[in-house]
Amino acid sequence: MADDAPKPRICVNYVAGRYLVYDVNDIAYLRTTWHMCGTLFGTLPQAQQQNIFLGLPLELMQEEARLLVDQRVAMIVDDSLAHREAVKALSETDKADILALKTQEQDKLTLANKEESLKRKEAAIENAKASGKWKTKPAKVAEPTPNQAEEGSLFAGGSDKVSEDVGGTGGDELVSTGQRTSPDDGGQRQYIIPMASSAIGSHSLRLPREAEHVPNPPDARYQVYKYLQSLGYFMSPGLRFGCQFVAYPGDPLRFHSHFLVKSLQWDEELSILDLVGGGRLGTGVKKAWMMAGLEQADTAGANADELEDPGVRTFCIEWAGFG
């Protein structure tokens, strides 16, 4: 699999102790080639509490990030440092491209809002006609105030005004905050402007420098993950099942998971309550409880190669008598 690694390597952004992937093409490649699904946790600014249909970025486990680095498929990038370096390296051409892209996105949003407003108006008229409440003589429309006229020009068709604001002195404010305050309102009203950071991320402006930080998960846990992943299993976090990994025989969108995996040291003591509870839990959710760890070689009878690369042993427990 390492021979199929794309060039340049995938950028895994290190942000506040988490390993994130933002590029959807990289995410598709990791899923199809390296059996890594990760965890999507991106939400919309207008719906911070949503917990379904999450989007980018994708968070990788430490074991996943470490394996990609070891196989030279990805590199860890310190997101904060890379962003600062990219901003410093911006040329005037880059800045002009950013502002032009933001203007284009705002024009699309303005047009979409205008079309949606017209559709709602037409639907309201049709409903009024169907219910017999439609007035043949239109009601008198009050003249808009200067503030209302400016607001209408901004959202109902004011692409030129938005372009002037984005291309003028307010452009820097838009890049940093994504908001615009109308001066005629005394600074009380804010208009949300869509940010273009997803399309012009720091990694697209300048090739980021690889961070010295390398994921360092516990050795036994990493070796167990690496062993099962090499057998073709898709691994996902197992916190909700009280284990470390959940192993799927194929893509989780098509297969039910088979194992609840817990890594242990070879001579680590295991409580009988944990053994019974894990076995009952795994069987109750139609999975097998798997204990795995690095095999401890006998120093008296093993050769040097076996000592340097001990194998992974797995034991599965299934509780009998469950329906």
User: Which residues are known catalytic residues?
Assistant: 248, 256, 287
Host H or E run for residue 22: none
**Alpha carbons 219 and 203: distance in angstroms, whole number:** 31
Contact status, residue 77 vs residue 14, Cβ threshold 8 Å: yes
Q: Pairing state of beta strands 18-21 and 179-181?
A: unpaired
Residues composing the chain: 323
Environment class of residue 82 by beta-carbon count within 10 Å: exposed (0-12), middle (13-18) or buried (19+)?
buried
Q: Rounded to whole angstroms, how far apart are CA atoms 18 and 57?
A: 11
Phi, psi dihedrals of residue 71, rounded to the nearest 5° = -85, 0
Task: Name residues whose C-beta falls within 8 Å of residue 198's C-beta, 6 or more positions apart in sequence.
Answer: 22, 56
Task: Sort strands 245-248 and 234-237 into parallel, antiparallel or unpaired.
Answer: antiparallel
Residue 196 backbone dihedrals phi, psi, to 5 degrees: -110, 20
Integer Cα distance of 100 and 199 in angstroms = 12
Q: φ and ψ at 198, to 5 degrees? A: -65, -30
Q: How far apart are CA 143 and CA 152, in angstroms?
A: 13
Annotate 198-213 with b (16+ C-beta within 10 A) or e (fewer).
eebbbbebeebebbee
Concatenating the DSSP letter of every residue in 53-116 gives S-EEEEEEPHHHHHHHHHTTSEEEEEHHHHHHHHHHT--HHHHHHHHHHHHHHHHHHHHHHHHH
Pairing of strands 55-60, 39-42: antiparallel
